[in-house]
Amino acid sequence: MNATAIILAAGEGTRMKSNHAKVSHKILGKPMIQWVVDATIQAGCERVIVVVGSHADEVRSILDQAYAQSSVQVETVEQAERLGTGHAVRVALGACNVTSGPVVVLNGDLPLIQAETVRMFAQTVADGKLAATVLTMTPPDPFGYGRIELDADGVIARIIEQKDCTPQQAEELLECNAGCYAFDGALLSRHIGDVTCDNAQGEYYLPDMLEILKSAGHAVGIYHCEDYRDGLGVNSRAQLAQLTAIARDRINNQLMAQGVTFIDPAQAWIGPDATIGRDTVVWPQTHLIGATHVGEDCQLGPNTRLTNVVAGDRCSLDETVGIDAVIENDVTCGPRCYLRPGTHLLDRAHVGTHVEIKKSTIGEGSKVPHLSYIGDTTMGAGVNVGAGSITCNYDGKNKHATTIGDRTFIGSDTMMVAPVNIGSDAITGAGGTITKDVPDGALAIERTDQRIIEGYTELRRARL
């Protein structure tokens, strides 16, 4: 489909009461503008142009980071003077030289619009029969939306804004304008300059293009989206929360249809780019953010948050926070463990309660059961780390590495001062500070002599 998407994202978003661009606010961990851009790319649009204005640098940064590797180039055009939607489209057309093919104009605060809706919308103007179409919907409560009035032939006659509706029109006209338009690109390019600012606000309004095209002898129509939620926008924090709940329910329903169990779907927040395998159970207060992918037969939560984590099959992640980590098969984590970026847990590894792992590999079947910190470490298979053990990897200026060989036993409360290498089948005594390399099969003990002072309690009491 040789279609171009123009996404309007230049507005102030004053009702959000925010220091950030409205379209940068997140739904399920993903900025709103990315939801819209992704829908256009998945719909098959070959060009995506985002018109930025307020907080332009912030929006550009989001797009540059998200689509640096995209096969579809996401372009940005700045609307330095924000003179209305018609002006924004004219700026985009001129800067990017769009002169043909279907052009869909969407708002950047429409995060629920689906790719199939965008694809079908663009196709309405692909065969040359219609010069423009308006995306319409019938929400349960139409108050606040422009109403679509059709003529006797079922062709759009005009759009009546809420404030201009008579009581009868407000009651009878239930088809609402979602604020999105599809145009024949050649006709849009030819006539966009005909939009004037002859109105009370002195702005160029894109809906005026409908009457301009009709006056030039071209047909215009509507495309009704079956799911009215596709056309819902975000103008306030309350609406952001409402649309987040809708997005959550859409995603969770899809996952349940694919064989995932949710103990309480209303208490699990799964991002649009996350995946979960069948027979996995999702407990309440679970969050999967970004490119998180979980395998089959897992237990997630309760109280688990994973961001850009890849987990295999049959894992149990209880009260686990994981960021940019890889978890292989049959791994158990938690409760209350923290997997920081660069963590790699191999098959059958166990990370227990109050354990923090950072930029480390935990070998097959190795265990860090409780109250430990492991950082910048490569650990072999079958290792057991006693409670309260720490790799002292930071000297105040640089980070240093620790290696632990296969089947080694680290006694409780062992301090491993990096850089240090502990061999395979070795043992460290409890309470030791290991500063030197430990050979394979060796026992490393570092302790001061224990002193016993008899009668100390009575002596102390006598001094008080």
| Within-domain flag for 184 | yes
- The tokens describing 117, both together, are 């809706």
| Within-domain flag for 361 | yes
Q: Is 102 in the same domain as 177?
A: yes
| Within-domain flag for 121 | yes
pLDDT at position 173 = 83
Q: Is 194 in the same domain as 283?
A: no
For residues 439 and 436, give the distance between their C-alpha atoms in angstroms, rounded to a whole number: 10
Q: Is 214 in the same domain as 276?
A: no
Q: Is 157 in the same domain as 292?
A: no
Which is it for the CA torsion 212, 215, 216, 222, positive or negative? positive
| Within-domain flag for 243 | no
> Is position 100 annotated in a ligand binding site?
no
Q: Is 157 in the same domain as 97?
A: yes
- The distance from CA 415 to its chain's CA centroid, rounded to whole angstroms, is 38
> What is each CA distance from 266 to 78, 246, 286, in whole angstroms?
39, 10, 10
The count of domains in the chain is: 2
Q: Is 222 in the same domain as 110?
A: yes
Q: Is 224 in the same domain as 284?
A: no
| Within-domain flag for 450 | no
Of 210, 231, 252, which closes a domain? Answer: 231
- Residue-range definition of the domain harbouring residue 270: 260-444
> Is position 412 annotated in a ligand binding site?
yes
> Is position 84 annotated in a ligand binding site?
yes
Average pLDDT, whole number, for the chain? 94
Q: Is 79 in the same domain as 194?
A: yes
| Within-domain flag for 387 | yes
| Within-domain flag for 239 | no
Q: What is the CATH number of the domain that holds 428?
A: 2.160.10.10
Catalytic residue among 25, 87, 370, 400: 370
| Within-domain flag for 399 | yes
For residues 33 and 169, give the distance between their C-alpha atoms in angstroms, rounded to a whole number: 34
CB-CB contact of 181 with 212 (8 Å): no
Helix ranges (H only) for 28-144 are 32-42, 56-66, 85-96, 115-123
- The tokens describing 430, both together, are 């409890």
Other beta carbons within 10 angstroms of residue 250's beta carbon come to: 15
> Is position 462 annotated in a ligand binding site?
no
Q: Give the global pTM.
A: 0.91
Q: What is the CATH number of the domain that holds 167?
A: 3.90.550.10
> Is position 373 annotated in a ligand binding site?
yes
CB-CB contact of 92 with 49 (8 Å): yes
Beta bridge partners of 3: none
Q: Is 289 in the same domain as 424?
A: yes
Q: Is 311 in the same domain as 391?
A: yes
Query: 57-110: per-residue pLDDT in tens?
Result: 999 999 999 999 999 989 999 998 889 999 999 999 998 988 889 999 999 999
> Is position 11 annotated in a ligand binding site?
yes
pLDDT at position 82 = 87
pLDDT at position 1 = 67
Q: Is 225 in the same domain as 266?
A: no
Other beta carbons within 10 angstroms of residue 81's beta carbon come to: 10
pLDDT at position 219 = 92
pLDDT at position 323 = 98
For residues 244 and 306, give the distance between their C-alpha atoms in angstroms, rounded to a whole number: 18
Instruction: Clarify whether 25 is annotated catalytic.
Output: no
Q: Is 291 in the same domain as 392?
A: yes
Mark the ranges of the chain whose per-residue pLDDT is less than 50. Answer: none
